[in-house]
């Protein structure tokens, strides 16, 4: 099993949902970022290290910088012009790593994360961490308040 984890919201303590939606609708805007890591990321990362692929709404340079500061050494997909809710990040993910949608779990923190996966292939399991925005709108496979609870639920459902 591989875990595709969105950088914004899951790893970084930021909610850029509204900005990404504006960008998706064609409004030329900058995507804000932070270097603040969510409190529960490191423990979660240590449990799944080596099985994660990072999904980033940022360009390659900024993504590398953030991952370096966060001490994350996983492969990543970055924004090449289109990002969530477009299916392009998922197309990149599945073509770059030759993955089967049934063997991938996408972990996000926004309804846009779910849409991106659903636009690509509805068989992809999308798990959501409800941090700053409610993910229930598009019915994730699993939803929890934080990564600690999410990991326990993943174990119960044999996703790890």
Centre a 10 Å sphere on the Cβ of residue 144 and count the other Cβ atoms it contains. 18
31-77 pLDDT per residue, tens: 999 999 999 999 999 999 999 999 999 999 999 999 999 999 999 99
Q: How far apart are CA 61 and CA 102, in angstroms?
A: 31
User: Residue 137: what pLDDT?
Assistant: 80
Residues in the chain, pLDDT under 70? none
User: Residue 28: what pLDDT?
Assistant: 87
Q: Which domains does the chain have, with CATH numbers?
A: 2-157 (3.40.50.1000)
């Amino acid at each position: 099993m591989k875990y595709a984890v969105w950088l914004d919201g899951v790893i970084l303590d930021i909610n850029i949902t509204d900005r990404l939606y504006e960008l998706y609708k064609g409004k030329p805007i900058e995507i804000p970022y932070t270097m603040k890591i969510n409190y529960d990321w490191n423990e979660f990362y240590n449990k799944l290290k080596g099985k994660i692929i990072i999904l980033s709404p940022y360009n390659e340079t900024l993504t590398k910088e953030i991952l370096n500061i966060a001490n994350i050494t996983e492969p990543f997909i970055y924004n090449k012009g289109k990002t969530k809710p477009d299916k392009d990040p998922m197309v990149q993910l599945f073509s770059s790593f030759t993955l089967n949608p049934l063997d991938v779990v996408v972990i996000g923190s926004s309804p846009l994360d779910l849409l991106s996966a659903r636009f690509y292939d509805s068989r992809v399991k999308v798990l959501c961490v409800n941090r700053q925005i409610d993910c229930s709108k598009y019915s994730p496979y699993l939803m929890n308040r934080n990564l600690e609870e999410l990991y326990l639920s993943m174990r119960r459902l044999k996703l790890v």
